[in-house]
Chains A and B, each alone.
Chain A
Amino acid sequence: MRTLILVCPAIAILFALVSPCAGEVPQWPPVLGLPQAAVAVDSNGIRAGTEQSLYIRRLKSMDSLSIMKNTPGYGVNQTVDYELTNDYWSDTRDQLLDLSGEAVRKGLPLGMSAGLEWSPVLIYNKYTSSFGLLGSMEAGPVIRFHPLGVPVMIHAGGAARAWNDSLGHSLSSASYDDFYRDKGYYAGAELGSNIIPFMRMPMFLNFKGYGRSLESSRLIAGTGSVLLYHALANGDSLFGLYSDSLVNGNSVLGQYGGRPRFINDPTRTERGYEISAGYKGSTRLFLNPSAVLSYNRHVLSYNDARSSLPDRASTDYAVLAMLQTVPGFPVTYAGGFRIEWGDERTLTTLLPSAASAYALDINLDSYTSYKVTLDQCASKYFSNGIGAEYSFDISRSSRAYPNFYVQSGDTIMSNNDNDIIVNKQKLTVVPVPSSWGPTTVYYEFSKNLSNYIRSEKSGQNTIDWFYRLGGTYRNTVFQSCTLSEATSAEAKVTRYAFPVMNRGNPPPYSRKWTALTIANMALTKKIACAAEVNETYSDNGTLNGRDYLDTVQLQDTALTVSYRDYYAIVEKLWAHSVKLSLSFHLVPSLSITTGCAYQLNDAKSFDPVSNDYSSAGSAGRRISPFGVMEFIFKKHLNGKASITYNFDTKENFWDILISLNGEF
């Protein structure tokens, strides 16, 4: 079975039947979850990794090396991170080199450790017509200790920068004087941990603070959280959370995607905090109740004339109540009821006076919001696998924009007040015993109402109906061959609430049918083959009803008398794909898969000039021979290499990924 899953992971996705009602109803918020114990990490050794990828015209290279040496007496950590992104499409190139590290002496009095840290960073961005370069260095002493078992870290030192984000065409033409330079100092501290209880109390406390003062910029940043939990004697549990974050200042070096990046953001003050309380009840009768209250506040202020953005503040409240049956109860039920309300306001007190008219307009964007959601799911499965599951979700989301001003006697206000009501229902039936092969049939229905309240936009109000009918099936044809099938058909119908306001603009309509068949066969213990066939038909267009005839058509008496509503297909697509593969599991730690995929997109769009369908932009074919090799060597070295060459109607291209990770 392991072999078959390796051959075709799509099977696992198709038939990933999760536990009943999972994913259909609200879940306990992760922020109120107790952290898992940290996984012990070997603090000695060398870790090296490299990942090279090429996709069409984008080359990405990531290389890292981490050297760790930790003994009771000292610890040395040095990392080398290098990233290169070369985008031949846009003629841009980004490079990053980060050489952060530290060396500390351990075993000092009071359990302290002390030493030095350094974080030199070099960033090079080549744009289409210029380039930017930034060099940054922070270095200074660092101290760690554990008073009463609480981890504490304090660090401080000097900081220096040199940068220019808009230099000429080449690096060689730049001189030292072309760069802005800055120097100063930094200091930071960390107290507590997110995974270790604070002083053996039922509490997790973590605080991080960092401040940096340079000649031309200043930055203070801090985050903190306290999570309390308490188990009552009757089995109930109480949770409380307070978390806060603050950023004040600006920087030419920021974070993007978890990596240092060259930025030049305006000076800003951003603060957000959250207070939440949760209750998890013990089992009563056969039910587990739980409830959560939360309050969020977020304020963002720009104190920089470079920015035209207004300050903003938002406040959100939420109440969530959940109920679910205990595992093993004859019928599984899970449901939740959630109410959220709040507001988001623009704060224009700091805007330049010259922009006061702008401030009036910006104020119109302040809104109050309200959302209520009810999710219910019930399921019953018998021991032979036969059963059914029904879920019912309904939500209403509303916004109101109350601000206004008067201009020349007219009241000016936003016309975006809206209500969106979504109702989804799904019935899944397993009609045959599991021994016949996992089989499901499902029907989905949803009705969405999108309403603008004010007359200026209510002409756009719509009602959608969405229908989907589908099923999945898997069976072992004979001992080593498995056949899987998934198919579904869907349609979406839309109607404008006021057709008269949409004459000549009939509402959209779309349909889709898809069928996926996968066959896997283990030829020997080490060789398996797989075939995958996917057929999809889809079309979209407009539902040309009588109500949507335009004024010219309405004057045509012959047309209006004989007119019958019809579905005008604007685009249609037949997509065919076949994928054949052969896998070799030569040894348990080495597998090689090779094969070829073929896709044909027969896409057509309606040409009103010729009154016929012609080939659309997405039409074409692609033949993709591929090979994948994966290996694990003694748990120290693992790697993956995949290579695909795509013969495509529009442009042939490579898709290559090579990754190698080692730990010694």
Chain B
Amino acid sequence: MGPIFRLLISPASAALCLFCASCGIFSPRPVEYPTPTIVDDPFNFASILANTGKKFTKLEYADLFADDCAYIDVNGNTFGKEDIRNHLVAVQRELTIDAATWKKDTANPDNLFILDTILVNRTYDVSAQNPLHQTYEFADKASFTLVFNSTKNAWTITEWKDKYSGYSIFHPWFSPN
């Protein structure tokens, strides 16, 4: 037991435990008392889960897209969460989204895995216009892999495959300029 005793009283271990226990580094910061907020959803992402028995409870892009979310275009180019978020914010700045609909892709049924993963296939139709009233129309198919984030207690998008050939309005390389 001699070596075990030395381990237990090892000054380094003791200092580390004392440090971690005493300085509150594992304690959260004070939280402000909540106020109600309304989340804008111009691309109507909420309807992706329509008729599946599930719903997005957090539609802000920071929560809607998982941290490891990937947008994959028809050529296999892959973009991360920040690229998707920044692009959607930019598009909303430059264009007015007139309508966005997501419907079940009747040719490709959803794969519903109960509990925490869903693969859904959708057709989309998005119309938008710029300040000069030039209109943009995008319609094609997309498939989403959705995972329930247990930490956030919300459904999140982890993979978004866009079948649009070229740059759809969702493509981070799309620019209306």
What is A's interface to B at a CB cutoff of 8 Å?
A: 89-90, 92, 125, 127-130, 132, 165-166, 254, 256-257, 261-266, 285-287, 289, 305-310, 312, 323, 325, 329-331, 333, 337, 346, 352, 355, 357-358, 361-362, 365, 372, 374, 394-396, 398, 416, 419-423, 448-462, 464, 466, 492, 494, 497-498, 501, 505, 507-508, 510, 512, 538, 540, 570-571, 573, 601, 603, 605, 616-618, 650-651
In the complex the two chains form, is A455's CB within 8 Å of B174's CB? no
In the complex the two chains form, is B86's CB within 8 Å of A310's CB? yes
Contact A456 B151, CB 8 Å, known A266-B173, A309-B172, A333-B7: no
Q: Is B4 engaged at the interface, CB distance under 8 Å to the other chain?
A: yes
Within 8 A of A (CB), among B124-161: 140-141, 150-153
Contact of B7 among A286, A449, A651 (CB under 8 A): A286
Contact of A358 among B58, B60, B62, B94 (CB under 8 A): B94
In the complex the two chains form, is B33's CB within 8 Å of A455's CB? yes
In the complex the two chains form, is B33's CB within 8 Å of A458's CB? yes
Contact of B175 among A307, A449, A601 (CB under 8 A): A307
In the complex the two chains form, is A452's CB within 8 Å of B31's CB? yes
Q: Is B114 engaged at the interface, CB distance under 8 Å to the other chain?
A: yes
Contact of B16 among A337, A422, A605 (CB under 8 A): A337
In the complex the two chains form, is A618's CB within 8 Å of B77's CB? no
In the complex the two chains form, is B7's CB within 8 Å of A309's CB? no
Contact with A along B25-42 (1 / 0, CB 8 A): 111111111111100000
Cα–Cα distance between A454 and B153 once the two chains are bound (Å): 18
Number of A-B contacts (CB under 8 A): 202
In the complex the two chains form, is B74's CB within 8 Å of A92's CB? yes
Cα–Cα distance between A395 and B26 once the two chains are bound (Å): 7
Residues of B within 8 A of A286 (CB): 3, 6-7
Q: Sort A-B residue pairs by CB-CB distance and give the 7 closest, nearest first.
A: A459-B34, A127-B165, A455-B32, A617-B112, A308-B90, A419-B28, A358-B93
Give the shortest distance, in Å, between A111 (CB) and chain B (any CB): 41
In the complex the two chains form, is B90's CB within 8 Å of A358's CB? yes
Cα–Cα distance between A456 and B12 once the two chains are bound (Å): 43
Residues of B within 8 A of A492 (CB): 150
Q: Is B75 engaged at the interface, CB distance under 8 Å to the other chain?
A: yes
Known: A166-B165, A420-B151. 4 other contacts (CB 8 A): A309-B173, A333-B7, A362-B89, A398-B29
What range describes how many residues of B lie at the interface?
35 or more
In the complex the two chains form, is B173's CB within 8 Å of A571's CB? no
Cα–Cα distance between A312 and B13 once the two chains are bound (Å): 40
In the complex the two chains form, is A256's CB within 8 Å of B76's CB? yes
Cα–Cα distance between A286 and B163 once the two chains are bound (Å): 59
Residues of B within 8 A of A538 (CB): 114-115
In the complex the two chains form, is A308's CB within 8 Å of B32's CB? no
Residues of A within 8 A of B163 (CB): 90, 92, 127-128
Cα–Cα distance between A416 and B85 once the two chains are bound (Å): 14
Cα–Cα distance between A330 and B89 once the two chains are bound (Å): 58
Contact of B153 among A264, A305, A494 (CB under 8 A): A494
In the complex the two chains form, is A305's CB within 8 Å of B175's CB? yes
Give the shortest distance, in Å, between A500 (CB) and chain B (any CB): 8
In the complex the two chains form, is A309's CB within 8 Å of B151's CB? no
Within 8 A of A (CB), among B101-116: 107-115
Residues of B within 8 A of A346 (CB): 86
Residues of B within 8 A of A361 (CB): 89, 93
Residues of B within 8 A of A394 (CB): 26
In the complex the two chains form, is A501's CB within 8 Å of B36's CB? yes
Residues of A within 8 A of B89 (CB): 358, 361-362
In the complex the two chains form, is A461's CB within 8 Å of B31's CB? yes
Nearest B residue to A462, CB-CB: B153
Contact of A305 among B13, B83, B177 (CB under 8 A): B177
Contact of A396 among B26, B36, B90 (CB under 8 A): B26
Give the shortest distance, in Å, between B150 (CB) and chain A (any CB): 6
Contact of A308 among B3, B76, B91 (CB under 8 A): B91
Cα–Cα distance between A571 and B113 once the two chains are bound (Å): 11
Give the shortest distance, in Å, between B44 (CB) and chain A (any CB): 21
Cα–Cα distance between A130 and B166 once the two chains are bound (Å): 10
